């Protein structure tokens, strides 16, 4: 008989006893909490900077936004969409006593107020209408509105409840300026040239309950029948010809039959998109022509960008939009009124030659846009551009250097096109053979004429077709 003896090796890990693992985890968590508390006491400013960065809304790129007090957003109703909110603002100030009294109290016209609403709505979050953190100077320069009109419009938004100021703008302190510098460095990869000294107020565009109840629901459009319309028999009443006759007696509440002649381009754009089937779409910012032209020229001269932007020749599909190249130029702080795309490409090539760099192949690149963004961040774009050095005072009054360069290039191309002679098409083989035969016949006739002239001077007569000479 054999007896089995179980021998436990003390070198192998033994299982924990009941409650021993929980005690170890609790002790580790307590140690980590003590370390973090000690670090926060040693450097409280670092913890404050981290809290400011964590409180930034999603999508913040460069400017620091002031933190919103806890619970403020929960008490503010959100909007349904940008288009609906603009229509609600128009209805409130034209059809309700509260809206008309607010306009009168703050001395602002209805059309100006709606422009103020459209300016704020462009910078709001599309789903909620919150996080409107833009300065009055930016709104005034882009929407051709004075600062006084913007302030009056904001007072009307407060009075009607269509806008709520969540945080008042102010000058930044040292901790907030440090957080703004770190936020800029995280977004652009380098430190800012100038620190942010102030932050704009944070607004939320709201749809209060009383305004939503006061505005009637829009009429649902009738679905068109897919059947072909039958031809009306003769003798029936004729269809009204004018637009006024065909228009319904009851128009939509957002456009009260011409009682308020406001032609708001933002509202028209949203209505057109809704008819096209794109509901709740956001309006896009139109980039300057000089920026688009510089991006196109840069794309044509840098092979690295062709792998991320343009059309794929093999598949025929678009790889990316040229707007991403425009964003690179804006983030780098390049003034495209002075720097053309050719200037930017030439500056990058000269910098690469000086550093010993070359553009990688398309297959070797994983992120072409990030590569070009890094190359742009390594140069100083505040100095004079190559175009400014070349034009030499040939610019017209009020003309930017980039516009001058393109004007001179167009003028030179027109001059070359006018002075260059139009070449005739190449002669055919038959025409060349005929010309050679004609030339040979002419040369033979000239030779015979010269021979006859020489013989006549010597007193001899040349017999045609013979090599003998006869005396006179």
Express each pLDDT in 210-223 by its tens digit. 888 888 876 655 55
Contacts with 362 (C-beta within 8 Å, 6 or more apart), sequence order: 303, 304, 306, 307
Average pLDDT of the segment spanning 296-316? 73
Contacts with 87 (C-beta within 8 Å, 6 or more apart), sequence order: 215, 254, 267
Q: What is the DSSP letter of 356?
A: T
Q: 3-state class of 120 per DSSP?
A: helix
User: What are the structure tokens assigned to 259, written together?
Assistant: 């009682």
Contact 390, 340 (CB under 8 A): no
In which band, very low, low, confident or very high, does the pLDDT at 456 lie, cut at 50, 70 and 90?
A: confident
Q: Residue 136 to residues 120, 145, 464: CA-CA distances in angstroms?
A: 10, 9, 106
Contacts with 82 (C-beta within 8 Å, 6 or more apart), sequence order: 121, 124, 126, 129, 270, 280, 282, 283
Q: What is the DSSP letter of 305?
A: G
Higher pLDDT: 445 or 425? It is 445
**pLDDT per residue as tens digits for the range 85-98:** 999 999 999 999 99
pTM of the model: 0.40
**Three-state DSSP string of 211-267:** HHHHCCCCCCCCCCCCCCCCCCCCCCCCCCCCHHHHCCCCCCCCCCCCCCCCCCHHH
In which band, very low, low, confident or very high, does the pLDDT at 18 lie, cut at 50, 70 and 90?
A: low
In which band, very low, low, confident or very high, does the pLDDT at 455 lie, cut at 50, 70 and 90?
A: confident
Higher pLDDT: 22 or 39? It is 22
- Burial (CB < 10 A; 0-12, 13-18, 19+), residue 207, is buried
In which band, very low, low, confident or very high, does the pLDDT at 469 lie, cut at 50, 70 and 90?
A: very low
User: pLDDT > 90: what percent of the chain?
Assistant: 16
Q: What is the pLDDT of residue 238?
A: 43
Contact 246, 68 (CB under 8 A): no
Please provide the size of the chain in residues.
Answer: 472
* pLDDT above 80 (res 293): yes
User: What does the mean pLDDT of the chain come to?
Assistant: 76
Q: What is the pLDDT of residue 264?
A: 45
User: pLDDT > 70: what percent of the chain?
Assistant: 72
Phi-psi region of 376 (alpha: psi -120 to 50; beta: other; left: phi over 0): alpha
349-386 as b/e: b if 16+ CB within 10 A: eeeeeeeeeebeeeeebeebbebbbebbeeeebeeebb
* pLDDT above 70 (res 106): yes
Contact 260, 114 (CB under 8 A): no
Query: Closest Cα partner for 328 from 316, 317, 336?
Result: 336
* pLDDT above 90 (res 153): yes
Query: Closest Cα partner for 416 from 408, 406, 426?
Result: 408
* pLDDT above 60 (res 281): no
Residue extents of the structural domains in the chain: 25-54, 73-214, 289-417, 431-471
* pLDDT above 90 (res 155): yes
Higher pLDDT: 105 or 246? It is 105
Contact 243, 200 (CB under 8 A): no
Distance of alpha carbon 12 from alpha carbon 28, whole angstroms: 24
* pLDDT above 80 (res 67): yes
Q: What is the pLDDT of residue 400?
A: 80
**pLDDT per residue as tens digits for the range 400-436:** 877 887 788 788 777 777 666 555 567 788 888 898 9
Q: What is the CATH number of domain 73-214?
A: 1.10.10
Q: What is the pLDDT of residue 108?
A: 92
Q: What is the pLDDT of residue 270?
A: 46
Query: Phi, psi (5° rounding) for residue 440?
Result: -65, -40
* pLDDT above 50 (res 466): no
Distance of alpha carbon 184 from alpha carbon 174, whole angstroms: 15
* pLDDT above 60 (res 250): no
In which band, very low, low, confident or very high, does the pLDDT at 314 lie, cut at 50, 70 and 90?
A: low
* pLDDT above 70 (res 186): yes
Average pLDDT of the segment spanning 314-334? 79
* pLDDT above 90 (res 177): no
Q: Which of 133-137, 251-255, 410-414 has the lowest mean pLDDT?
A: 251-255
Query: Closest Cα partner for 160 from 105, 111, 240?
Result: 105
* pLDDT above 80 (res 235): no
* pLDDT above 70 (res 301): yes
Distance of alpha carbon 178 from alpha carbon 176, whole angstroms: 5
Distance of alpha carbon 396 from alpha carbon 177, whole angstroms: 42
Q: Which of 265-274, 301-310, 365-374 has the lowest mean pLDDT?
A: 265-274
Distance of alpha carbon 274 from alpha carbon 446, whole angstroms: 86
Contacts with 163 (C-beta within 8 Å, 6 or more apart), sequence order: 120, 154, 157, 203, 204, 205, 206
* pLDDT above 60 (res 258): no
Contact 202, 133 (CB under 8 A): yes
Contacts with 132 (C-beta within 8 Å, 6 or more apart), sequence order: 120, 123, 124, 202, 203, 204, 205
Contact 329, 375 (CB under 8 A): no
Q: What is the pLDDT of residue 219?
A: 63
140-168 as b/e: b if 16+ CB within 10 A: beeeebeeebbebbbbbbebbbbbbebbe
* pLDDT above 70 (res 440): yes
Contacts with 308 (C-beta within 8 Å, 6 or more apart), sequence order: 319, 320, 324, 368, 369
User: What are the structure tokens assigned to 424, written together?
Assistant: 């005739």
Contacts with 115 (C-beta within 8 Å, 6 or more apart), sequence order: 143, 145, 153, 264
Residue 164 belongs to what H/E stretch?
strand 163-167
Q: How far apart are the first and last CA of the chain?
A: 161
* pLDDT above 90 (res 297): no
Cα dihedral value 279, 284, 286, 292, nearest 10: -110
């Amino acid at each position: 008989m054999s007896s089995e003896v179980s021998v436990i090796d003390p070198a192998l890990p033994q299982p924990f006893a009941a409650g021993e693992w929980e005690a170890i985890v609790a002790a580790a968590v307590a140690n980590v909490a003590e370390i973090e508390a000690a670090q926060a006491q040693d450097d409280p400013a670092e913890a404050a900077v981290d809290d400011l960065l964590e409180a930034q809304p999603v999508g913040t790129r460069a400017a620091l936004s002031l933190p919103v007090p806890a619970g403020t957003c929960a008490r503010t109703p959100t909007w349904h969409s940008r288009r609906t909110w603009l229509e609600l603002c128009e209805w409130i100030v034209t059809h309700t006593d509260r809206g008309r009294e607010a306009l009168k109290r703050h001395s602002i016209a209805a059309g100006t107020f709606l422009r103020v609403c459209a300016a704020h709505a462009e910078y709001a979050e599309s789903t909620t209408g919150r996080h409107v953190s833009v300065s009055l100077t930016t709104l005034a320069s882009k929407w051709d509105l004075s600062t006084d009109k913007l302030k009056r419009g904001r007072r009307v938004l407060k009075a009607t409840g269509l806008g709520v100021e969540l945080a008042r703008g102010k000058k930044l302190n040292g901790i907030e300026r440090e957080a703004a510098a770190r936020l800029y460095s995280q977004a652009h990869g380098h430190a800012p040239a100038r620190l942010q000294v102030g932050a704009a107020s944070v607004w939320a565009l709201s749809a209060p309950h009383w305004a939503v109840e006061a505005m009637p629901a829009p009429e649902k459009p009738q679905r068109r029948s897919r059947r072909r319309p039958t031809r009306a028999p003769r003798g029936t009443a004729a269809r009204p010809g004018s637009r006024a006759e065909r228009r319904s007696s009851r128009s939509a509440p957002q456009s009260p039959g011409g009682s308020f002649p406001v032609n708001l381009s933002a509202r028209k754009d949203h209505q057109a998109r809704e008819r096209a089937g794109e509901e709740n779409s956001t309006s896009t910012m139109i980039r300057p022509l000089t920026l688009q032209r510089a991006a196109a020229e840069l794309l044509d001269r840098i092979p690295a960008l062709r792998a991320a932007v343009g059309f794929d020749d093999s598949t025929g599909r678009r790889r990316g939009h040229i707007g991403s190249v425009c964003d690179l130029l804006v983030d780098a702080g390049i003034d495209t009124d002075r720097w053309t795309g050719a200037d930017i490409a030439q500056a990058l090539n000269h910098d690469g030659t000086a550093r010993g760099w070359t553009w990688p192949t398309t297959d070797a690149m994983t992120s072409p846009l990030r590569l070009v963004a890094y190359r742009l961040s390594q140069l100083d774009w505040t100095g004079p551009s190559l175009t400014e050095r070349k034009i030499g005072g040939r610019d017209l009054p009020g003309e930017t250097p980039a516009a001058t360069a393109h004007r001179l290039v167009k003028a030179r191309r027109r001059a070359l096109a006018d002075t260059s002679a139009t070449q005739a098409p190449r002669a055919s083989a038959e025409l060349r053979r005929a010309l050679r035969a004609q030339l040979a016949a002419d040369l033979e006739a000239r030779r015979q004429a010269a021979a006859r002239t020489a013989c006549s001077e010597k007193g001899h007569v040349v017999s045609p077709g013979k090599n003998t000479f006869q005396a006179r």
